[in-house]
Structure 1
Amino acid sequence: MLVLPARTGGTVLYAYLAAAALGLFAIGVVREPRRVSNGVWLGLACLFVLLWLLVRATESPWLDRVLGLVFLVVALVVAMILPLALIVNGAVMWRREGHRLANSLSLLAGLGIAATAVLLFVTGPSTNPWLNAPVGSFVFVVAYAGFVFGCFLLYSLLYGRLRRRRGFSAIIVLGAGLDSAKVPPLLESRLSLAIRLYRREEGRPLVVVSGGQGPGETTSEAAAMREHLLLRGIPAERIVVEDRATTTEENLRFSTELLDERTRHGYLAAVTNNYHVFRTAVTARRLGLRLDVAGAPTALYFLPSAFLREFAALLVHYRRTNIAAAAVLALVPWAMVVG
């Protein structure tokens, strides 16, 4: 029997694990691209590839130098540039979009990363296990959150570029808030994309405008969207108004209920912004809807907080799994101390 050296065995092991994770990712995308687990498999594949490179670096001086430089750059970016950029973005969001918690997520994330970097710098290497244990628990939980966010972000960007089908019987436009009674740029981008999809389809699908009336709004989002579409040449008989929804799930559920009442519909399209595409698709799968999601472009300054908000919403939805995983990881350093 051939016994592989430890380094070679590690290289082969991580290569096999990376290939297995990548294979499960490919199978998941083909079977059902709207699963969160697809992003996890993709993230694990990237992680195993990184571990494979680290093992290979012990046998290759040039690779060791390259990886060392890459890790140094990444460490500087994560510890200094990223938190500063997020804090600045949070201030911009606070000024432009209003003083709401949802607009403060990039600011809070930047402060959190900066606090973690300061904590690691202050504590540093220590021989005191009772200091290392709580710091280790904190770092493990933060690392888990970072890994899961990376999986979500990577697959969200990839999912947004998957090929879209044609032949929709209806297009659902998800509401996004109004400026009093005026359609703001974010919502206008969704409506512009819906108009392009409508004009592309030969059968001229129905367009469902979905959204209720929120605080500070003088009319419902659906009513304002209807007027916007009428001014741009969409016939009134092709527009369906759904003016009760206040969440993404209600947007989809109430809209499909209206369509069920009107006619037997086929495949549907939902239009939102690019950052919101994946969570909308996940929600549609959970509701059992045959629905594709298209994403309109979003202002760059809005994206950090928007992706963080989407990530937080998915964390809450899968809270039991995430709490259990974080709890297990937090116990690992304590188990090492006790052991």
Structure 2
Amino acid sequence: MTMRTADAVLAVAFLLTAAVTRLPLRRCALTALAASCAGMTLVPSLWPAAGHRHPAAEAVAAAAGAAAVALALLLITDAVLLMRSQGLAAPQAATFAAGVLLAVAVGAISLDGRRTHRPPAPAWLLLALLTVYVTAFFVCFLCSTALRGRQRLRGRADSIIVLGAGLEDGKITPLLAHRLDRAVALHRTLVAAGADPVFIVSGGQGADEEESEAEAMARHAVARGVPAERVHRENHSHNTDQNLTYSAVLLKLVGRTDRRVVVVSSDFHVMRVALIMDRLGLRGTVVGSRTKLPYWLTAALREFVAIVSYDRTATLGLTALLVLPATALALPWS
């Protein structure tokens, strides 16, 4: 078996596995593995024994490189725009660093890849393999997040949970207001359809805050038409995991444990929320509120890191499968 054949078989196997996998993050990792193996099948055509590269292989490699550069520039531009409007903070710095690292990796691969008189160095091939994998993984995650963030409520729900996003000087931030307004609109829709959903607002009190986030959220929802007696406050949580864990406890207290739930958060946040809901056994749907594009990309990158860390055992296990296309490099190229 040649390297090209082995990588082609691996690419098909990973792609078929991704098609039947239920969990979105693992589907993204498997798709990235398939893309990495497919990319490695181009290597014999880019460095053939005769010394003449195949035009189609060159075109595919050039297109992949251009797409990676475009993503790097988008990350850098997004970080700079946020720094100008909001100042320097960890999320913006991380986005800028990610864009620079991707640009440097693509540049290094391109410079070394220009050599046509001899096969590329193993370090070059491994860097290319890792770069394709991480980039494809992140792009697949972005696409999945964008699609999942636009998902609408299907069917009925008996409970609405709105996740907090922090207060600013004791006031509801625009990001949190979007979540609440989306939840209020869902409440109206459900009531119009004959349901009587409970409305749970989830967010604790910070050390420098005079009241809990849930209290401010409840006031916002009631002012927009949600009946005060249907609003329940979960005011002890300080992160997403606690938001959902404590809200699940509150659902038991109000007798809604066996009903369908709709959880409302920001569109960039839906993948992690769905993962935690699955772990807690909460049946229902995640609905995202719209976020402005510049903030969305940086927030999505932060979510990518968070969700990979959250599901790190499975993600690291799948990433370790890169050893298969790396090992295939030892096989004959053609």
Same fold (TM over 0.5): yes
Q: Which amino acid aligns with 1:283?
A: I
1:268 and 2:261 correspond: yes
| TM, length-normalised to structure 1 | 0.77
Give how far 1:35 is off: 4.6
Q: Sequence identity of aligned pairs in percent?
A: 31
1:251 and 2:213 correspond: no
Aligned counterpart in structure 2 of residue 284 of structure 1, from 274, 277, 294: 277
| Contact 1:97 1:103 (C-alpha < 8 Å) held by counterparts | no
| Contact 1:274 1:297 (C-alpha < 8 Å) held by counterparts | yes
Q: 1:254 to 1:181 in 2, by over 3 A?
A: same
Give how far 1:84 is off: 2.6
- Aligned ranges 1:46-57 → 2 under 5 Å: none
Q: 1:93 to 1:158 in 2, by over 3 A?
A: same
Equivalent in the alignment of 2:297? 304
Secondary structure of the residue aligned to 1:167 is coil
| Contact 2:35 2:133 (C-alpha < 8 Å) held by counterparts | no
Q: 1:247 to 1:200 in 2, by over 3 A?
A: same
1:115 and 2:104 correspond: yes
| Contact 1:211 1:221 (C-alpha < 8 Å) held by counterparts | yes
Give how far 1:325 is off: 5.2
Give how far 1:136 is off: 4.0
Equivalent in the alignment of 1:17? 12
- Aligned ranges 1:303-322 → 2 under 5 Å: 303-322=296-315
- Aligned ranges 1:22-33 → 2 under 5 Å: 22=16, 24-25=17-18, 27-28=20-21, 33=22
Q: Distance in 2 between matches of 1:145 and 1:159?
A: 21
Q: Which string of whole-angstrom CA distances, capped at 9 and with x for unpartnered residues, describes residues 31-69 of structure 1?
A: xx55533334555677788899999xxxxxxxx877755
Q: 1:123 to 1:180 in 2, by over 3 A?
A: same
263-272 or 157-166, larger mean C-alpha shift: 157-166
Q: 1:335 to 1:234 in 2, by over 3 A?
A: closer
Q: Distance in 1 between matches of 2:324 and 2:283?
A: 42
Q: Distance in 1 between matches of 2:12 and 2:324?
A: 25
Q: Which amino acid aligns with 2:83?
A: W
| TM, length-normalised to structure 2 | 0.78
1:240 and 2:232 correspond: yes
Q: Distance in 1 between matches of 2:171 and 2:125?
A: 50
Aligned counterpart in structure 2 of residue 148 of structure 1, from 123, 137, 142: 137
Secondary structure of the residue aligned to 2:162 is strand
Equivalent in the alignment of 1:60? none
Q: 1:172 to 1:254 in 2, by over 3 A?
A: same
| Contact 2:157 2:262 (C-alpha < 8 Å) held by counterparts | yes
- Aligned ranges 1:186-265 → 2 under 5 Å: 186-201=175-190, 202-214=194-206, 217-265=209-257
Q: Which amino acid aligns with 1:300?
A: L
132-141 or 322-331, larger mean C-alpha shift: 322-331
Task: State the aligned residue count.
Answer: 319
Q: Distance in 2 between matches of 1:183 and 1:321?
A: 37
Q: Distance in 2 between matches of 1:195 and 1:167?
A: 15
Q: Distance in 2 between matches of 1:54 and 1:121?
A: 14
Q: 1:171 to 1:133 in 2, by over 3 A?
A: same
Q: Distance in 2 between matches of 1:45 and 1:165?
A: 32
Q: 1:328 to 1:290 in 2, by over 3 A?
A: closer
324-333 or 94-103, larger mean C-alpha shift: 324-333
Give how far 1:212 is off: 1.6
Q: Which string of whole-angstrom CA distances, capped at 9 and with x for unpartnered residues, describes residues 135-157 of structure 1?
A: 44444333322232233223333
| Contact 1:38 1:155 (C-alpha < 8 Å) held by counterparts | no
Q: Distance in 2 between matches of 1:329 and 1:303?
A: 30
Equivalent in the alignment of 1:61? none
Q: Distance in 1 between matches of 2:224 and 2:329?
A: 65
5+ long unaligned stretches in structure 2: 45-53
Secondary structure of the residue aligned to 2:168 is coil
Aligned counterpart in structure 2 of residue 86 of structure 1, from 66, 75, 87: 75
Q: Distance in 2 between matches of 1:224 and 1:206?
A: 17
Give how far 1:133 is off: 4.0
Q: Which amino acid aligns with 1:183?
A: I
Q: Distance in 2 between matches of 1:117 and 1:16?
A: 22
221-230 or 313-322, larger mean C-alpha shift: 313-322
Q: Distance in 2 between matches of 1:39 and 1:335?
A: 22
